[in-house]
Chain A
Amino acid sequence: MRILPGLSLVLWLSAAALIAQPATQFAKANQEYAAGDFKAAITDYEELVRSAADTPNLFYNLGNAYFRKKDFGHAILNYERALALDPRHPEAQANLRLARDEARALELLPNRWEQGLTFADSNQFAISAGIAFWLGVFGIAFFVFNRRRIALALAILAILISGYSIFALSELEHGKNGGGLAIVTKDNSEARIATADTANRVLVLPAGSEIQIASRRGDWIYATLPNNLRGWLPANSAEPVRM
């Protein structure tokens, strides 16, 4: 029984050390960045990413390190990742704009539905769809048992809101910033009409350009390109934003 307090202390200290480790490594990478050692900073930031410490600030700082190394493809990729985790990250938005201008990267155009759905992100639409759905179901149940017309009206309204939210969620998930979004990391990557290096080119993409992955076949990905065409690219020429 005497060893129990000691063991608890050891466990507590270990847990504290584990929690503190990413923060320490993050601070170390920041110091390396400040000292101009961008390569070392990138290595440390990447190690943190591999340890699944996915935070918007980590991807943002990593994007900055790549920007300093003039690797605009990876810089844009990491800014996009920061924004995928926190769509309202103002610093990532500003730096992404700058990196795109530097790289002359091509962007996918949002469709007209997506353009009107910028007031919320897909998580917010998912939550509102869930809440509105249950309000609608409760409203219908109340109407069935109590025959109150106001309950039916509210139920219909809630179901409509739920349907709209599901539609918006679907549009956002399948749209420009959806699950298929990827960033071209190799400069002048060539999209071709078939999975062969000798096939005709559809478009040449500067690093940092956005594509939307439709399917994969071996070492090739089939993607929607910024000019609304589709083409095959080598799988190692682009990385998906969502990890």
Chain B
Amino acid sequence: MSIDRKSLTIGFAVIASTWASTAFAASPSVTAVLSDSQPAVGQMVQLEIKVSGAQSASVPDTIPIDGLEVHQTGTSRQFEMHNFDVTSSVTYAYTILPLRAGQFKIPPQTIRVGNTSLKTPELALNVAQGQSGGASASKPGTQSGQASVGSKLAFADLVIAKKEAYVGEMIPAEIRLGFDARARGRLQDGPDLSAQGFTTQKLQQPRENLETIGGRTYQVYTFKTALSAVRPGKFELGPVTAKASIVMPRRPSTSPRTRPRSPLDLFNLDDPFSDPFFSDPFGSMSMGERAEVPIKSESVSLNIKPLPPNAPPNFSGAVGNFTMTSDAKPKTVQVGDPITVTSTITGRGNFDRMSAPALEDERGWHKYPPSSKFKQDDDVGISGEKTFEMVLAPNEKKNAIPPLVFSYFDPVKENYATLRSDAIPITVEGNAPPSQNTAAVPPASATVGITPSPAPKPADILYQMNALGAPKSFTPIYRRAVFWIAQLGPLLLLLAFIGWKIRQRKSGDRERQRILAREQEMSRLLRELRRGDISPQVYFSNAARVVNLKTALARNVNPNSVDPETVATTFDLDEEERVRLQRLLARSDELSYSGGGNGSDKISRDEREEVLNFVESLRV
């Protein structure tokens, strides 16, 4: 088989370049997220710096901050493909160990992606005194976790960042499912988290890594989510349940089973990995069999506190830590014209319970219900920015849009906070409201046109109509059968016109053919007359015929109906020529009717030339 190696190489190059161009076509961007922004001293926090639109980036190994120990712990890369649109990202994980209590700021870090420099946002970390957080259920990394996991083929952990929280506060959570690396665990169902009294964010795609716990290597799948309590009280969160299939050895039939075994003590031994199956990986391929095992974690206790009373009037349930910016477009309008006021709430909290900022003073304004969109900075939607667009229309002359106010509960400071934007200066012209209300268009769209009112607005609606009138159809005329049937009229007229024209042309062709035949006959006869080798009877007969044909062609009449007078008139003959014509015709008749024997057999040269000259001289 001959393979065109050059074509193959070019094909691979095209595919590779297409993939590469799509994978890195988007300009890179960076986000930074903390797993918990309110840890206690000694409680580990994870910082993830995610660079989207790049496969690698240059990041600092450590971040020097007084009071915090920050170290890079790992890198993971993700590729996603949607409809041939490939996106890639790389995530750099850091652990942060708070050494003392206080408020810390993690300054923006410079990330280099090729020739581009990106900066992470500044992050705030409020470290509380004492060991308050870190409620993890049998975390493998802890002493108790080691004990419970060390002899298992699979384990499940529910890691909750807090033991105490407020109603509505977003609580980051991780579900970790681990499988002994040699058991080649495969998740069949779940994980499912029992969380009555909580709303949970949808579980994201798990992060996969290898961890060594108690001297054994586990393949650990980490699912991230966030929880939010809907009512106060003490809750048991969990357990997390899942079903997985793992490879276990077939036991020899001769080996008697002496005691029942638990699903996680598969080999009747304290340590299942002491089974010879695991010491012979190749043998296990033939001897092992897959079995489905349930996995269950411990529950976690959580104390949910109610929000304090005396909430601000415009508090709508936002819990977290936020900042707000606002803007308005356009800034010069007529009375009644729409203005789009955009307010952006950025921070960390329960964005799904967040309502739009309110106008401090709504008098003199008509307010339309706002729309919103959310851009999350992390996997579970705790951090990000929510943008509200609200359309306002001034009912009177104004010189500024009143400040926007937004209230939220800060669970760290344990009090309510109200953000207040500055008044936005605008110019409102005119007095009369316009006739049309059009929604403000986003800045990227076309400009909004306000059509001036063509007539003054009536004070009330006009009178009722007394006559019902003739029914009409909503169907456009071109979709009605009558419209297309009506087209048959001109179509038939056109066909009739074309038929008539074709017929006319055909009859014209017959006339032309007749004329052509006469011309050809005349030419032939003239040639014979010039040759002169014919008898006098034929000669004069031909000459008379040529005269008749010439006359017929000139007058467009039948040559048989031509008489001497017609010839004379047609060619405007004088007396002498008339005599010559008479003589020619008489001679022709004489020879025709008297027979060929009357007279000479041959015509004289002079006579022939005279006749020929006469015939040829006949012109209109």
The 8 Å CB contact of B437, one of A60, A100, A173, A204, is A100
CA distance A95 to B374 in the complex (A): 40
Beta-carbon contact of B437 and A123 below 8 Å? no
* Chain B residues whose C-beta falls within 8 Å of the C-beta of A202 in the assembled complex: 371
* Chain B residues whose C-beta falls within 8 Å of the C-beta of A55 in the assembled complex: 468-472
* Chain A residues whose C-beta falls within 8 Å of the C-beta of B467 in the assembled complex: 57
CA distance A227 to B391 in the complex (A): 11
In the complex, A161 has a CB within 8 A of chain B: no
In the complex, B256 has a CB within 8 A of chain A: no
Interface residues on B, range: 35 or more
Beta-carbon contact of B497 and A138 below 8 Å? yes
The 8 Å CB contact of B464, one of A61, A100, A122, A130, is A61
| Chain B minimum-CB-distance residue to A138 | B494
In the complex, A160 has a CB within 8 A of chain B: no
The 8 Å CB contact of A107, one of B371, B437, B471, B483, is B437
Beta-carbon contact of B465 and A94 below 8 Å? no
CA distance A203 to B338 in the complex (A): 14
In the complex, B84 has a CB within 8 A of chain A: no
* Chain A residues whose C-beta falls within 8 Å of the C-beta of B438 in the assembled complex: 106-107, 109, 226
Please judge, given known A-B contacts A61-B464, A200-B372, whether A173 and B472 are in contact too, CB under 8 Å: no
* Chain A residues whose C-beta falls within 8 Å of the C-beta of B487 in the assembled complex: 130, 134
Main secondary structure of the interface of B (DSSP, over half): loop
Shortest Cβ distance from A112 into chain B, in angstroms? 9
Shortest Cβ distance from A174 into chain B, in angstroms? 12
In the complex, B477 has a CB within 8 A of chain A: yes
Shortest Cβ distance from B48 into chain A, in angstroms? 25
The interface bits of chain B over 402-443 (1 if a CB of A lies within 8 angstroms of the residue's CB, else 0) are: 000000000000000000000000000000010111111110
* Chain B residues whose C-beta falls within 8 Å of the C-beta of A145 in the assembled complex: 498, 501, 505
* Chain A residues whose C-beta falls within 8 Å of the C-beta of B455 in the assembled complex: 94, 97
In the complex, A126 has a CB within 8 A of chain B: yes
In the complex, B514 has a CB within 8 A of chain A: no
CA distance A55 to B470 in the complex (A): 6
Beta-carbon contact of B448 and A109 below 8 Å? yes
| Chain A minimum-CB-distance residue to B390 | A204
The 8 Å CB contact of A100, one of B372, B436, B446, is B436
* Chain B residues whose C-beta falls within 8 Å of the C-beta of A57 in the assembled complex: 465, 467-469
In the complex, B368 has a CB within 8 A of chain A: yes
* Chain A residues whose C-beta falls within 8 Å of the C-beta of B494 in the assembled complex: 134, 137-138, 141
| Chain A minimum-CB-distance residue to B366 | A104
Beta-carbon contact of B435 and A97 below 8 Å? yes
In the complex, A229 has a CB within 8 A of chain B: yes
- Which of A6-14, A26-34, A151-159 binds B? A26-34
* Chain B residues whose C-beta falls within 8 Å of the C-beta of A204 in the assembled complex: 368-371
Please judge, given known A-B contacts A145-B501, A201-B371, whether A228 and B474 are in contact too, CB under 8 Å: no
In the complex, B461 has a CB within 8 A of chain A: yes
In the complex, A98 has a CB within 8 A of chain B: yes
* Chain B residues whose C-beta falls within 8 Å of the C-beta of A91 in the assembled complex: 462-463, 465
Shortest Cβ distance from B438 into chain A, in angstroms? 5
Beta-carbon contact of B449 and A109 below 8 Å? yes
CA distance A206 to B30 in the complex (A): 39
In the complex, A105 has a CB within 8 A of chain B: yes
Shortest Cβ distance from B345 into chain A, in angstroms? 15
Shortest Cβ distance from A182 into chain B, in angstroms? 13
Identify 9 residue pairs between A and B in the complex whose beta-carbon atoms are under 8 Å apart, listed by A's number.
A27-B466, A30-B466, A52-B471, A57-B469, A64-B464, A138-B494, A145-B501, A227-B440, A228-B442
